């Protein structure tokens, strides 16, 4: 007898990958990409005063609110499943949120009503920072969606790296208002931080994430031309670490080198030697703006 069911055909890995790429991302994934992007642009939209307390509002304050109202509430079942799993870190995110919101009561009790707005706003933001990890796992439930969000994150890191480099070269202006940069002058210069934060440590940590992703993308790039193209943003990220002067990032680079040695053993020596030689050549023949003692990198590491 012949079955009326469709015949099962064998799919090659290439056809499976093509089918995965053709899978629609969907509005939740695209909305999540917009939310992730908004966290890279922390410039204040304006400074407002409520009850005698002044505070800034950022674009992610509103994108988070819209995302929760339009997308996250529809994903309640997936979020509950994640938080119910005792082996998942998402469950402990909610316990941490309880501690954060409990601190709001302490802030109100010790600081009085004048600190209420600041406490509520920062607790709201901290809640978003923790919940975005839950949103990613609940929504990016296919490899295609996960790769898309990774590409969005990496692209934003690249934009920030080139923006920091452009600010150091004088191509782009510093975008933060004066009342934010007053405490972030080093050696008579404003530390270039792009739109991430006026504090240089924020930029350094983000660049470390980008450097790790650049190395990973380079290692799996199918063609030499792709690897060469990926080296350009990697160089910009390394330069951004240097000019922002974040010692945390410099220690992170040292940890990266040790981890690379540990993972690749003797195979890593030629690569690291080549990179080290290239850095020496760039330093020796670099223009004055890179080796000038007034730059933040050399002031902080003397």
Residues 19, 36: Cα–Cα separation, whole Å: 26
> Could you read off the pLDDT of 235-280 as tens digits, one per residue?
888 888 888 777 777 788 888 888 878 877 777 777 677 666 666 7
Residues 271, 227: Cα–Cα separation, whole Å: 14
Using the structure block, give the residue that is written with the tokens 């990032």.
Answer: 249
Examine the pLDDT at 167 and tell me if it is beyond 70.
yes
Examine the pLDDT at 61 and tell me if it is beyond 60.
yes
Residues 240, 160: Cα–Cα separation, whole Å: 9
Residues 58, 132: Cα–Cα separation, whole Å: 16
Residues present in the chain in total: 302
**For a pLDDT cut of 70, what percent of the chain falls above it?**
75
> Could you read off the pLDDT of 103-148 as tens digits, one per residue?
777 777 776 666 677 777 778 888 888 888 888 888 888 899 999 9
pTM of the predicted model as reported, rounded to 2 decimal places: 0.77
pLDDT at residue 32, as a whole number: 94
């Amino acid at each position: 007898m012949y079955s009326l069911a469709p015949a099962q055909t064998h799919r090659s890995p290439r056809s499976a990958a093509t089918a995965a790429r053709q899978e629609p991302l969907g509005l939740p994934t695209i909305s999540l990409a917009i939310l992730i992007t908004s966290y890279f642009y922390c410039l204040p939209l304006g400074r407002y005063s409520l009850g005698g307390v002044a505070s800034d509002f950022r674009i992610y304050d509103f994108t988070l609110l819209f995302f929760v109202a339009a997308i996250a509430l529809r994903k309640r079942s997936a979020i509950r499943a994640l938080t119910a799993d005792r082996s998942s870190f998402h469950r402990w995110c909610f316990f941490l949120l309880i501690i954060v919101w409990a601190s709001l009561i302490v802030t109100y009790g010790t600081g009085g009503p004048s600190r209420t707005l600041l406490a509520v706003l920062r607790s709201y933001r901290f809640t978003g920072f923790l919940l975005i990890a839950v949103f990613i796992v609940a929504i990016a439930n296919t490899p295609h969606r996960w790769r898309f969000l990774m590409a969005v994150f990496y692209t934003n890191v690249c934009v920030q790296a080139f923006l920091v480099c452009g600010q150091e070269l004088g191509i782009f202006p510093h975008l933060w208002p004066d009342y934010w940069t007053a405490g972030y002058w080093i050696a008579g210069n404003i530390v270039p931080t792009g739109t991430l934060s006026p504090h240089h440590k924020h930029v350094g940590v983000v660049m470390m994430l980008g450097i790790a992703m650049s190395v990973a993308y380079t290692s799996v790039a199918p063609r030499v031309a792709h690897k060469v193209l990926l080296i350009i943003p990697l160089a910009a990220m390394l330069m951004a670490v240097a000019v922002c002067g974040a010692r945390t990032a410099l220690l992170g680079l040292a940890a990266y080198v040790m981890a690379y040695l540990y993972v690749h053993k003797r195979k890593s020596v030629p690569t690291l030697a080549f990179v080290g030689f290239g850095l020496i050549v760039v330093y020796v023949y670099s223009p004055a703006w890179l080796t000038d003692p007034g730059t933040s990198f050399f002031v902080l590491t003397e």
